[in-house]
Amino acid sequence: MSQFAASIVLLPPQASEFAFDYDLLFWYITAVTIGGAMAVYAGLTYSCFAFARKGPDDRTPRILGSDKLEIAWSVIPLLFFLSFFVWGVKIYNEKLQPPADAPEYFVVGKQWMWKIQHPDGQREINELHLASGRAVRITGTSEDVIHDFGIPAFRSKFDVIPGRYVTTWYKPTTPGTYHIFCDQYCGMGHSQMVGKVHVMEPEDYDAWLEGTFPSSPGKTIDGSLAWEGRKLFLKMQCNACHNQESSARAPQLVSLYGNMRPLQGGTMQQVDENYIRESIRKPMAKVADGWKPIMPAYPQTQLGEIELRGLVAYIKSLKNGGQLPTRTEQFPAPVGAPGAPTSEGGLPK
């Protein structure tokens, strides 16, 4: 029983600035209403005993009222109600005005999922990664019916409506993982329209944006810098030499970042971003021990700085248990292509 009592939580955790302000107002209103109710019941209880009939000859006195009492029990509650209004309007106005420099995130509701896109292009389904201490602007809409994007830990929810854009903003304060709910009934799959908000330390969030944070080993974030780097890695056919086969003609890249590498000449090199950049721009400058210097150089005219950043981010992401793509020419040819197996499993005639 004690364990059950200990597990009871009155309110969700506070994970944003607005949650703190909201809870202060919530508990203030709660305390005032409870205090007012207790005062009424205390007065009622006192009157039941103080003015009870004491005997058969006791006559009820004629009470004409008190102007002072009438004013007191009218003005005092009015002042409290006005304080609710003024405090609530202040919080409401602050919630309506996102900071001018807050980056914009897009949320799209669809039966029955949340599709989220970051300002730099990263995409998520039913998950939202944010950095603690950084304000963000959220713009939402819907593809079908009215949904409601609710995050209890942020004390925030807003309707996403087909054909309209609705905006709110958050400033997360506490790293952790919190719930996302659809707070508007939207069909038979409504209860499944849930997700998670991951509030991270700023440096961890930056690594996640890049695709190098170790929370998803072997998987680059859709739309991240590492994700773009992987596409470029395949486009430039880097996996023709850099692969995990025994016949590979270039060094292994998986789990390379952050380790020491022996170079020709007997020296050691820390594999960091600068070394990876130099190995792409000037591969002959520091050749890995045991490998032939066959990699061509990729100057600025062939590989732009943004593309180079993507490749570096992708190689960094491989330290988290990622796998290099299989060589393209070893993928089976489509059924029906010349020299490919037929749908019956035999060779074409």
Same structural domain for residues 96 and 27?
yes
Same structural domain for residues 183 and 268?
no
Phi, psi of 342 (to 5 degrees): -80, 170
* 216 occurs within a structural domain: no
Q: What is the CATH number of the domain that holds 313?
A: 1.10.760.10
Give tens-digit pLDDT for 189-213: 899 999 999 999 999 888 888 777 7
Distances (CA, A) of 215 to 22, 220, 230, 267: 32, 10, 18, 33
* 38 occurs within a structural domain: yes
Task: Please give the sequence-ordered ranges of beta strands (E in DSSP) within 183-250, or none if there are none.
Answer: 194-200
Identify the pLDDT of residue 344: 47
Same structural domain for residues 163 and 112?
yes
Same structural domain for residues 232 and 201?
no
Same structural domain for residues 137 and 252?
no
pTM over 0.95: no
Identify the pLDDT of residue 219: 58
Do 114 and 142 form a contact (C-beta atoms < 8 A)? no
The boundaries of the domain holding residue 233 are 225-328
Same structural domain for residues 283 and 258?
yes
Same structural domain for residues 187 and 240?
no
Do 95 and 169 form a contact (C-beta atoms < 8 A)? yes
Same structural domain for residues 116 and 171?
yes
* 348 occurs within a structural domain: no
Task: Say how far apart CA 333 and CA 32 lie, in whole Å.
Answer: 74
Same structural domain for residues 183 and 242?
no
* 52 occurs within a structural domain: no
Task: Please give the sequence-ordered ranges of beta strands (E in DSSP) within 265-335, or none if there are none.
Answer: 268-270
Same structural domain for residues 24 and 159?
yes
Name the packing angle between helices 67-96 and 17-50 (round to 10°). Answer: 170
Same structural domain for residues 34 and 171?
yes
As for how many domains the chain has, the answer is: 2
Q: What is the mean pLDDT of each run of 10 residues along the chain (349 residues)?
A: 58 86 91 93 89 78 81 91 93 85 89 88 88 90 91 90 88 92 90 92 86 62 75 81 79 81 85 83 84 83 79 77 60 49 45
Do 209 and 224 form a contact (C-beta atoms < 8 A)? yes
Identify the pLDDT of residue 339: 53
Phi, psi of 91 (to 5 degrees): -65, -40
Do 139 and 165 form a contact (C-beta atoms < 8 A)? yes
* 5 occurs within a structural domain: no
Length of the chain: 349
Same structural domain for residues 262 and 155?
no
Task: Say how far apart CA 241 and CA 254 lie, in whole Å.
Answer: 13
Identify the pLDDT of residue 31: 94
User: Which of 210, 233, 250 is the endpoint of a domain?
Assistant: 210
Q: What is the CATH number of the domain that holds 148?
A: 2.60.40.420
* 217 occurs within a structural domain: no
Q: What is the DSSP secondary structure assignment for residue 56, as one 8-state letter? A: T
* 53 occurs within a structural domain: no
